[in-house]
Chain A
Amino acid sequence: MGSLKKYLLWPSVLILLILIEFGIFGTFSSRFLNISNLLYSIGDFLYIAIAALPMTLIIASGAIDISIGAIMGLGSILTGLVWVKTGNIQLAFFAGLAGGAVSGFINGSLILMTQVNSLVITLGSSFLFSGLALTLSGLAGSTGFEGIGGFPDSFVNIANGEVLGLPNPVIILLGLIILFYFILHHTKFGRYLFLIGMSPEGARYSGIPTARVVVITYVISGIIAAFAGIMLASYFTSARSDLGADAPLTVITCTVLGGASIYGGTGSIIGTTLASLLIGYLKYGLQMIKITSHQTNVFLGIVLIVSISGRYFWEQISSRHKNKMALKHEELL
């Protein structure tokens, strides 16, 4: 019972926060609390929400991936480039995903090869990938930050269309959430990730193929990041090398806010999803009451710091309370 309570406590706090947020924005702007509005606005932060899922896997294993923003740009540019050169949109789509997979593979194998902290490797590789994206967009003839446009309707529809009244982003997000929930919480692979996060040495000594697990996790992260970049290109109907450049900060925020410890060993897909909704609607709501994206950063930073330190103090108080109870119990004996 005790562990169940602990398991459910944080998600319910997040749900409460989301409800409070809806209440506040609802009073400021009457247009905000509108079901179709709320559903369609998921398209705005789809890339954050789906990139946060593999990030939960990575953070649960005690590592981090800063390069997802760069991989998003690279994925979208690759898709745009192949589309311009061949005119085959399916090929272009898979080229983008393949680019993401290769990027992830590079990240994972470099981390294994050098034993250097994942933060450093992915920082360096994010330079590499975003530079590559910029260079490729130069090759495609669009100088600098200009985008590659002219995508066919079938591609644009992926992020803008709807099925049975549900916007496509909602369906994509739901599908990926279920997939990742299953991977992290109901497979051997997911258990391996948690074990590696808790103690990499211990995991290795108990015969877990840590190297393979780490590389596969980074490949998954790369593919999903590239997919998020392609979704952005579809949503904005143009591919640019700097798409998703602001993503890493927000994605890590969502994951940590969702209950994953940056030191590894914990993390939950449900928490991450709720935190992504919280942050996504925060951004959307602030936009609605006409606060610019730069100023939104102030709120984002404050929410992150206050919630994490709040959780720390909450844990301190509750453990002190438990200690006191234990002492009292001993005295009675």
Chain B
Amino acid sequence: MKQKLINLILRRPELLTVVIIVLYYLCIGIVNPQFIAMDTFVRILYNGTMLILVTAGVSAVIITKNIDASIGSLLGLAATFGGSYLNTADPSLLIFIMITVGTGLLGGLFNGIGVAYCGVPSIIMTLGTLALFRGLLALYTGGSWIDTVPEWFLNFSRIPVLGLYYPTWITLILLGVLILFFGRFRWGRYIYATGNSLDGSLLQGIPVKRTVLLAFSLSGVMTGIAALIFTSQIGTIPTQAGVGMEIKAIAAAVIGGISLMGGTGSIVGAALGAVLLETISYSLVFFRVPGYWNSFISGFLLLVIVVANSRIEIYLRNEKEREIDEKVKRRYLQLAEKTL
């Protein structure tokens, strides 16, 4: 029984995240029962859509054993390009979506080409584009904000449908598509294989470079979609749009059980990690914690969760190994008895 449980958690690390989320809810609920309500959850899902989307994107990159640190700037850039198109005389929704998501895709492709075909280590490449994209944004806007988003587009994220808001629905649908893609489709499995063992994948004939390129473009597209939601939810696009998003997304992915060593983790876990981070920041707002405590508390909780997560995992792994050792020992003794 215990063995089965250990195996289950080792295979599906996102279960730990679920446990942590439930525990966190209960802890907050004991202090203030009002926190546990359907409305809270709807709010968290609404606030968290952007983070969930970019976390799903960055997870694809992390699973290939690379990292994407440029999403914060890319989100800002895509939102800026899209937003400035919305300010033209007669904007059409389709072209707007194409511009925003297209910017994300191009940014992701740029990262991917640098990493896969030009031999730049991903952390260097994306730190470089983090600066590059932010600089392009500043060059393009000249430092001014975009704050006239049409009313019809703002309403898009303000009117609930079937209890949830449009951005939440879009996020849930996209998550479903991604889960299918990673679990059932050839290129999705390539992403896991590449991260698990680069040399092994090469020998198997997997197009490793194209797989890495695909992962980065996926991250770019998700960032572009997050930029759409940013424009609709926030309504203004400052030059600082999306700053720090990459840090939150990487943290969420890691909390959700995606290993930076590549090859393991699931999109569900990543989304849950994002929900947990969003729950923490929502609870801080809920208790009206002064703003300057915010990053201290979330940093502290983040470290506690990461430490707890890894300690539990190490413990489980040791436990499993011990169990296997014992099994082998027993079998050996049996054999010895028989032969004697």
User: Which residues from chain A sit less than 8 Å from chain B, CB to CB?
Assistant: 64, 110, 113-117, 119-121, 123-132, 134-135, 138, 144, 249, 252-253, 256, 261-263, 292, 294-302, 304-305, 308-309, 312-313, 316
- The answer to whether B292 touches A144, judged by C-beta atoms less than 8 angstroms apart, is yes
Q: Which residues of A contact B299 (CB under 8 A)?
A: 124-131
**Which of B132-140, B183-191, B206-214 is the contact stretch?**
B132-140
Q: Chain A: interface secondary structure?
A: helix
Q: How many residues of B contact A (CB 8 A)?
A: 46
Q: Which residues of A contact B120 (CB under 8 A)?
A: 305, 308-309, 312
> Is B272 an interface residue, CB under 8 A from the partner?
no
Q: How far is the CB of B256 from chain A (nearest CB, A)?
A: 12
Q: Which residue of A lies closest to B290 (CB)?
A: A138
- The answer to whether B134 touches A120, judged by C-beta atoms less than 8 angstroms apart, is no
Q: Which of B112-146 contact A (CB under 8 A)?
A: 114, 118-121, 123-125, 127-136, 138-139, 143
- The answer to whether B118 touches A313, judged by C-beta atoms less than 8 angstroms apart, is yes
- The answer to whether A305 touches B251, judged by C-beta atoms less than 8 angstroms apart, is no
- The answer to whether A263 touches B121, judged by C-beta atoms less than 8 angstroms apart, is yes
Q: Which residues of B contact A64 (CB under 8 A)?
A: 123
Q: Chain B: interface secondary structure?
A: helix
Q: How far is the CB of A262 from chain B (nearest CB, A)?
A: 5
Q: Which residues of B contact A261 (CB under 8 A)?
A: 121
- B294-325 vs A, CB cutoff 8 Å, 1 = contact: the mask equals 11111110110011001100100000000000
- Determine the distance from Cα of A129 to Cα of B290 in the docked complex, in whole angstroms: 17
Known A-B contacts: A124-B302, A132-B296, A308-B119. Give 13 more (CB < 8 A): A120-B251, A120-B306, A131-B298, A252-B127, A263-B121, A292-B138, A304-B128, A305-B118, A305-B124, A305-B132, A308-B120, A308-B125, A313-B118
Q: Which residue of A lies closest to B139 (CB)?
A: A295
Q: Which residues of A contact B300 (CB under 8 A)?
A: 128, 131
- The answer to whether B296 touches A253, judged by C-beta atoms less than 8 angstroms apart, is no
Provide a sorted-by-A list of 27 A–B residue pairs whose CB atoms are within 8 angstroms: A113-B307, A116-B254, A119-B250, A121-B306, A123-B250, A124-B251, A127-B298, A127-B302, A128-B302, A130-B295, A131-B293, A131-B297, A144-B292, A294-B134, A294-B135, A294-B138, A295-B138, A297-B134, A297-B138, A298-B135, A298-B136, A301-B128, A301-B130, A305-B124, A308-B120, A309-B118, A313-B119
- The answer to whether A301 touches B129, judged by C-beta atoms less than 8 angstroms apart, is yes
Q: Which residue of B lies closest to A263 (CB)?
A: B121
Contacts A297-B132, A305-B129, A309-B119 given; does A135 touch B293 at CB 8 Å:
yes
- Determine the distance from Cα of A113 to Cα of B307 in the docked complex, in whole angstroms: 8
> Is B67 an interface residue, CB under 8 A from the partner?
yes
